Amino acid sequence: MSDEPASLAASPLAHQFDDLQQQREAGEMGMWLFLSTEIMFFGGMFLAYTIYRMRDEATFAAASRELDLVWGAVNTAVLLCSSLTMALAVHAAQLSQRRLLVSLLAATIVLGSVFLGIKGLEYHHKYEKGLMPLAGLAFEWNGPSPGHAEQFFDLYFLLTGVHALHMLIGVAVLLVLLVKAGRGGLLGEFATPVHISGLYWHFVDIVWVFLFPFLYLIGAR
Amino acid sequence: MNMSHKSSGIAGFFIVFAALLLLLGLTVEAARHDLGRWNFVVATLIAAVKALLITLYFMHVRHSARLTKLVVAAGLVWLAMMFTFSLADYWSRGWLS
């Protein structure tokens, strides 16, 4: 009896599940249910963007050209790279390759941070050009329909800001996984948290895959 | 965990990654041409293909349980409903006056 708690703690299977497959699928479905609410959360903002863009497509296209296409494309590539390292990290965890898992988690964290850094640079650039209609800052627009241009930048900062917040949460989650993996956890039958967190990371990547064309590419350059 | 996961393997991840970078190049190149209203359509279609690749391969939905697939599909159906009903409203509101 005395050694039973220790053996329970070492088991990869929580007592409420019949087997490991059921446990893994329950975790997976739970994350997808959460991601469904996230689809609606971001979907509402994408809908607002669509409706405002329909009102004045020409001004939205002109405002879109003010964004830096090169940094936007580079950031998209950075996030796609981070999705690759994340997918490989899940694979390494399932095959119990500890050192590879630690390296790949660290790489994903670095790539996520690079994305946030570039986003910060872009925000600073918009601030300097007077294109940041936040917190009472003056909005400077020389073309026609400055009101609609301001709406575009309102949506730009709302959408990319909420996305960046999701990235920050993702980086924090991966840091926790990195510490656990460094201590020899999350391997083989214990790999489900890496898989579940990976789903979240890839979802945030997908949101950016749509944000990039909607914000940067709607006006031909 | 099972053999189907292992056999899909690392090579598959790199092929999907190469396809994603190719699509990124394609969507940037398309934006350099003035296609009028089609710029938006082309960019959205390419984004949808990229999202599909990430979902099926990086997120393993291709090999997931049917219940998981159902939850994924349900999320997209609700999104489609929100867009369809909202845009139908904005589209047709002018007809009343």
With a CB cutoff of 8 Å and minimum separation 6, the contacts of A202 are: A83, A86, A87, B54, B55, B58, B59
| Cβ(A81)–Cβ(A93) below 8 Å | no
pLDDT tens track for A71-97: 999 999 999 999 999 999 999 999 999
Q: Calculate the average pLDDT of chain A.
A: 91
Q: Please report which confidence band the pLDDT of residue A177 belongs to, taking 50, 70 and 90 as the band edges.
A: very high
ipTM given for this complex: 0.89
% pLDDT > 70, chain A: 95
CATH number, domain A19-216: 1.20.120.80
| Cβ(A139)–Cβ(A130) below 8 Å | yes
**Domain boundaries of chain A, sorted by first residue:** 19-216
pLDDT at A9 over 80: no
Handedness of CA A79, A82, A88, A93 (dihedral sign): negative
Distance of CA B96 to the CA centre of its chain: 35
Nearest to A217 among B31, B55, B87 (CB): B31
Q: Please report which confidence band the pLDDT of residue A126 belongs to, taking 50, 70 and 90 as the band edges.
A: very high
Give the predicted TM-score (pTM) of the model. 0.91
Nearest to B67 among A25, A81, A84 (CB): A25
pLDDT at B2 over 80: no
| Residue in chain A nearest B21 by alpha carbon | A77
With a CB cutoff of 8 Å and minimum separation 6, the contacts of A213 are: B27, B31, B40, B43, B44, B46, B47
pLDDT tens track for B6-51: 445 789 999 999 999 999 999 999 998 888 888 889 999 999 999 9
Place of tokens 């092929």: B15
Is B85 part of the contact surface with chain A (CB cutoff 8 Å)? Answer: no
pLDDT tens track for A140-157: 888 888 889 999 999 999
| Cβ(A180)–Cβ(A186) below 8 Å | yes
- Show which of residues 15-54 on chain B sit within 8 Å of chain A, judged by CB atoms: 17, 20-21, 24, 27-28, 30-35, 37, 39-40, 43-44, 46-47, 50-51, 54
Kindly report the nearest CA distance between residue A136 and chain B, in angstroms. Answer: 31
pLDDT at A106 over 90: yes
Residues of chain B contacting residue A218, judged by C-beta atoms under 8 Å apart: 39-40, 43
Q: Which residue has the higher pLDDT, B34 or A205?
A: A205
